[in-house]
Structure 1
Amino acid sequence: MSSETSTIGDPFADPIAEVTRTEPITETTLIVGRNATLTLGTDSLIVLDEGFAKERGFRCCDLLPSNSKNTRPIPFHNVLWANISEPGLTIWFAQQTSKDFVQPTFISYSVEKTNSLAARTWISKLLDRSYSKSQRQKRIKVLINPFGGKGNAQKLYSRDIEPIFTAAQSVIDVERTQYRGHAVEIAENLDIEAYDVVACCSGDGLPHEIFNGLGNRKDARKALSKVAIVQLPCGTGNAMSWNLNGTNSPSLAALYVVKGIRTPLDLVSITQTNRRFLSFLSQSVGIVAESDLATEHLRWMGENRFTYGILVRLLRKTVYPCDLAVKVTVEDKQTIRQHYRQELDNRELVSSRRAQLAATESANNGLPPLKFGTVGDELPEGWELVPYDTLGNFYAGNMAWMAANANFFPAALPNDGNIDLVCIDGHISRITALKSIAAVESGAFYDMEHVSYRKVEGFRIIPRDQKNGYISIDGEKVPFEPFQAEIHRGLGTVLSKSGHIYEAPGV
């Protein structure tokens, strides 16, 4: 096991340590040098510098327009750090050089000694506005999967991610996973008091392992509540980053992790034979599972292999006979839409829920007991096993996007205590099936008449033919045999842009 540590030295020491938090701040504009001022605007730092007019090609950020040749705005969201030292005042920020790439850069100005206290006070307010509800100087355990995706994770981390973390004064501890299941072992032995975040430079596989490693601990609930799990998209499937950050860009994802807001995440217990493990993303049987797991030999096609796999099976009109029992909470699509919009508009509710969950999950004990038992137990009271002779697709999701432009679960929410379940009959016409694929990208999938969409607390599925088939849990292959799922509201913790919803378009 190899590890390395990266931090920034004294030149970027926290200015807040030298400023009393209760000191009144009345000024929003700081004079720096003879011909420049720094002003705290509504959502940006406004830099007015007479020297800009002389610098051809100067570009601060392409997020907001400049009102004059002498003025440049830096959105607070892009401000990474600021400090004052002997040479003067330095502000680090993420400069957007293209639509999908940011890189750290800085501006520096001299500050008169007589103005140093005012400058420190001004810096304190700048960082308050720049980080708002997000924690500063996060302590990040970075895990790099050197084998995932196309094997570029190390390169992407060094080039796109580490510079952002370093400029933001994050404390970084880097480790490379060496084999499948290694991240589980790391999480099982992690000092949860030493880290705020575990950041996975990988696809969706490492987050799955980390959630399960923390879930295996004797203090599972405390560990899952305390340590936020995030993904820095470096793999083939990057659904976690799409949902929480709205991007597949490693550098943008790094910025969103730096500025990310702690968010409770529902996790799902899966029981199969005598095993119990956690799922954070999805559970599937049928076309989606087979199109994912049976196309491993086509990884050279990238994400196109999923589309290819689905098309082949749709044209064959493949069916997956099974027996299914479901604990439904909301069945009507219009009611689901109302449920989603109520959660969407009520930030106060989610904020209050976050505090409640933190209080209830701080106990030093393992995973919550199973409300509905295991797959080997008798069916829970009120559950009925229903035969599905022509099931084409069984897809349960805890997040909205399953891949880029694949918004299968537009009503999914991070912590509403529900699994979103989609079922489609395998005997629909080929034309309808092809239209369904296009509808996932266009956003019309949810309203299609043949798409059964329900919110559920749990389910049990029993495949009929238990010799040939695929079951995918978070994109990972598990034995093709009966399993049961049960939701645990807000058991896990992630970082998200909003703090309460996914970035995918909702219903």
Structure 2
Amino acid sequence: MTGANLSEDLEKYCAKPMLEETFYILSKKNCVYRVKLIEKGLCLQKEYNGVVKSEIISIDDIIGCRCMRGKRLSNNCVCRPIQAKFNDPKVVDLKSQDIDENDISAYLYIYAYVLKNLKLLKSGQKREKMTVTLRFRGFERYEDNMKEAQKWKSTLKTLMVNRKMALSRKRSWEEGDGVNGPLTNGNMLVIPLIVSSDDYIILCDGVNGALTNGNMLVMNPCVTSDNKILIVLNPKSGVGKAREFFQSRVVPILTDAEIDYDVHVTSCPNDARNLMRKADLSKWKRGIVVLGGDGILYEIINGLMERPDWLNVLQTITLGIVPCGSGNGLAKSISHMSQEPHDQNPVLVSTLNIVQGVSTPMDLIRAQTKSQVVFSFLSIGWGLLADIDIESERIRAVGSQRFAIWSMARLIGLRTYQGTLSFLRVPEHKLSEHRKRSVVHSMSSQSLNFLSPLPSSKSFHSDSIDLETETPRTDCTISRHDSFHSVASVKSSFHSTGAGSSYQSLHEVGPVTMYGPTSVLPPLHQSLPSTWEVVEGEFIMVHAAYQSHLAGDCYFSPRSELYDGIMWLFYIKAGISRNNLFHFLLGLASGSHVKVPGVEMVPVQAFRLVPHSTGSYIVVDGEVVEYGPIQAEIFPGFMNVFATGDTKS
């Protein structure tokens, strides 16, 4: 796109603003900002010495906004030094005891994480925080200035909620009371979308987005007592830095987004599973978020499936993950599908997934052994990769590098296993649809920017912009209204703690009932239909994957999507050369392993594995299950996860 076309597009987007105001920078003479709030975000038009530059901060990049008030200066020292920066106002929350009653200004802080192009980075892109401060002081009274700031905040929040409504994909909704399901009224659907402490429910028709009355969105107040997420934190994940990451990296983003939360710190194996099975989840309707690795999410999902109300829970609660473990396959897969620069800052990108609150369906796999049923979201493995995953636990302290180190050890001491692998191949017509979607997704990936493409000029701003209106206008008496809830009301509640807690592979959880969708497969002791294909003999490995990544640096199944209804079954028979096997392991980081001779990759709907020799493990989502026959089947889009971006074209 040329500079001229870019300018024309910006002018087009900014032509019909919902709100518009002129601001100034005190430290720069002749510098004027025309700030416009438009459907696609915040338009900044800078005029300086006759030169006009424009930029749009996408609504998809904005995570929150807060109204603030000037802080009362300390009287401890009469000879107070002059502030070094005119554009660095000292502000406090509206409910603070330190407000400056003499300051008539009202401040609106807008927080965004914009995508920056950085040549020095391998990925070339990175999310960086930008704070825009709008100081309203055009009226003589503080109350009028605050009403103006609140109007901007209210309109911006409405746009954010409306955008999330348009992007959220709930797999299915049953008629209900607005809490356990949507209210229906003809073609009108009221979805209880919980966003933050003063947000709204948008009325929409379920197809075209929000219903409007002229230029006004139809809104109802949202019940605030249930607007929380539950954060389940595993303090022993990975190298044991989950607590540190939460306090230093996650909490500031949740605060800026005004998201209330409770925290549960796991204290023993299966603590998270037991919590999910027994807890009243109605207080966490916004979602449940894991701070840890894939193993703790496995506990969460299987705990939910042990509830009698499992179906309602899966339909109404969205799950999320912030990677703090050594195996972070799902977090990387979500970022990969969303075209987000995950590797530069995995915790940041994944937390933004949660804050954006876009619910996306994900496939769920039902796996059955002789004595138990478990549910899976990542992979099922036997042989080489399963051995590496489990045996490398002894060097967990080195983090994700443990997989690479143990891979070399297993290559040197290569093992083979006797077994029978049976599978039901995906029909060709369904596979053709998958190929078409993949092509469209690949073609559109260049234009994806967080949640939607939006033309913008090269940013002329640093990480913060502080703007203010002119001095009071005495000829205006405008009454406007909105509300603001103090972010100070956001409290974290630690439901359980345990300094000596540890996290291990799955232990016995006692006599519980596993619910879930009914299997369509024959019992393990019965024969399979003749339509199934069978491979017998000596195997190096068998691994079924349904996410693109098994770990942050393991691009195992390049063709997998979050909800395509396909398991990609990989198997390697004995007889493959060590050189090819070495290139298989080497190619896991880039996805090139799928082209190595001797590596078979089959799209399946279901499979059964019967080991005939011992010495390995059967691993589901990184957790060891009963060794012996196992069969699995896929239920497409059966649960929901937080995922920004268009994860399925």
Q: Please classify the TM superposition score into its range, dividing by the shorter chain length.
A: 0.7 to 0.9
Tell whether 2:356 aligns with 1:259.
yes
CA contact (8 A) 2:363 2:562 kept: yes
Aligned-pair CA distance for 1:28 = 4.6
For 1:437 and 1:43, the matched residues in 2 are separated by 44
Which of 229, 233, 255 aligns to 1:144? It is: 233
- Answering whether residue 643 of structure 2 is matched by residue 496 of structure 1, we say yes
CA contact (8 A) 1:319 1:426 kept: yes
Map 1:395-414 → 2, pairs under 5 A: 395-414=543-562
Structure 1's 152 and 102: CA in aligned 2 closer, same or farther, altered over 3 A?
farther
Q: Is the contact between residue 211 and residue 224 of structure 1 (CA under 8 Å) also seen in structure 2? A: no
Residue among 56, 60, 63 paired with 1:77? 60
Separation (CA, whole Å) in 1 of partners of 2:522 and 2:394: 37
Quote the residue 1:133 is aligned against. 164
Classify 1:209/1:500 alpha carbon distance in 2 versus 1 (closer, same or farther; 3 Å): same
Deviation at 1:457, TM superposition (A): 1.4
RMSD: 3.4
Distance (Å, rounded) in 2 between the aligned partners of 1:337 and 1:390 = 32
The aligned residue for residue 133 of structure 2 is: 107
User: Matches of 2:578 and 2:603 in 1, distance apart?
Assistant: 27
The one of 100, 105, 109 aligned to 1:91: 109
Deviations 1:137-177 (A, max 9, x none): 26210111111111110010000001101110111111101
CA–CA separation in structure 2 for the residues paired with 1:346 and 1:209: 37
Q: Is the 8 A contact 2:298 2:376 kept in 1?
A: yes
TM-score by length of 2: 0.62
Secondary structure of 2:417 counterpart: coil
Q: After alignment, is 76-85 or 194-203 more displaced?
A: 76-85
AA of the residue aligned to 1:371? V
Per the alignment, residue 479 of structure 1 pairs with: 626
Verify the 8 A CA contact 1:141 1:199 in the aligned structure 2. Answer: yes
* Separation (CA, whole Å) in 2 of partners of 1:77 and 1:333: 32
Match of 1:229 among 297, 315, 319: 319
* 1:203 to 2:293 alignment: yes
Cα 1:83–1:163 change in 2 (3 A) is closer
Structure 2 residue 399 is the aligned partner of structure 1 residue 299: no
Offset at residue 462 of structure 1 (A): 0.9
AA matched with 2:559: A
Where 1:490 maps in the other structure, the secondary structure is strand
Letter in 2 for 1:428: I
Q: Residue 369 of structure 1 corresponds to which residue in structure 2?
A: 518
Q: Pick the aligned partner of 2:309 from 191, 210, 219.
A: 219
- Percentage of identical aligned residues: 23
List per-residue Cα deviations over 1:219-244 (Å, max 9, x = no partner): 11111121111111111111111111
After superposition, the Cα gap between the structure-2 partners of 1:46 and 1:223, relative to the gap in structure 1 and judged at 3 Å, is same
1:373–1:224 CA distance, 2 compared to 1 (3 A): farther
User: Distance between the aligned counterparts of 2:554 and 2:62, measured in 1?
Assistant: 32
Alignment partner, residue 438 of structure 2: 341
Aligned residues: 445
Higher helix share: 1
Which range is displaced more, 311-320 or 225-234? 311-320
Partners of 1:177 and 1:72 lie apart in 2 by 45
C-alpha distance in 2, partners of 1:85/1:298? 48
2:260 to 165, 171, 194: 171
Equivalent AA in structure 2 for residue 482 of structure 1: P
Q: Does 1:289 align with 2:386?
A: yes
CA shift digits 1:291-342 (9 cap, x unpaired) = 1101211223322221232233334442221111111114799858625527
In structure 2, the CA distance between the partners of 1:129 and 1:400, relative to structure 1 (3 Å rule), is same
Give me the whole-angstrom Cα distance separating, in 2, the residues matched to 1:499 and 1:182.
34
Distance 2:577 2:40 in 1: 51
Closer, same or farther in 2 for the Cα pair 1:341/1:387, shift >3 Å?
A: closer
Shift of residue 475, structure 1, vs aligned partner: 0.7
Distance 1:47 1:343 in 2: 33
For residues 211 and 334 of structure 1, do their structure 2 counterparts lie closer, same or farther at Cα, with a shift above 3 Å needed? Answer: closer
Determine the C-alpha separation between the residues in 1 that align with 2:540 and 2:127: 40
Deviation track 1:251-285 (CA, whole Å, cap 9, x = no partner) reads 22212211142111111111112211111110000
- Whether 1:425 aligns to 2:416 is no
Which sits farther off after the overlay, 331-340 or 189-198?
Answer: 331-340
Q: Which of these residues, 452, 467, 481, is aligned with residue 600 of structure 2? A: 452
Aligned to 1:379: 527
Q: Give a deviation string over 1:363-418, Cα, whole Å, max 9, x none.
A: xx95111111443x413433557353221121101211111232111111222222
Structure of greater relative contact order (alpha carbons < 8 Å, 6+ residues apart): 2
**1:161 corresponding residue in structure 2:** 250
Q: Report the CA distance shift for 1:381/1:387 in structure 2 as closer, same or farther (over 3 A).
A: closer
C-alpha distance in 1 between matches for 2:245 and 2:129: 13
What letter matches 1:201 in structure 2? L
2:272 is the counterpart of 1:183: yes
What amino acid sits opposite 1:168 in the alignment? A
1:18 corresponds to which residue?
none
Change in Cα spacing, 1:378 to 1:447, as seen in structure 2 (3 Å) is: same
Q: What letter matches 1:29 in structure 2?
A: E
The 5 A counterparts of 1:11-22 are: none
CA 1:162–1:83 in 2, change beyond 3 Å: closer, same or farther?
Answer: closer
State the partner residue of 1:435: 583
**Separation in 2 of the partners of 1:202 and 1:483?**
27
Distance verdict in 2 for CA 1:207–1:68, change over 3 Å = farther
- Equivalent position amino acid for 2:299 in 1: E
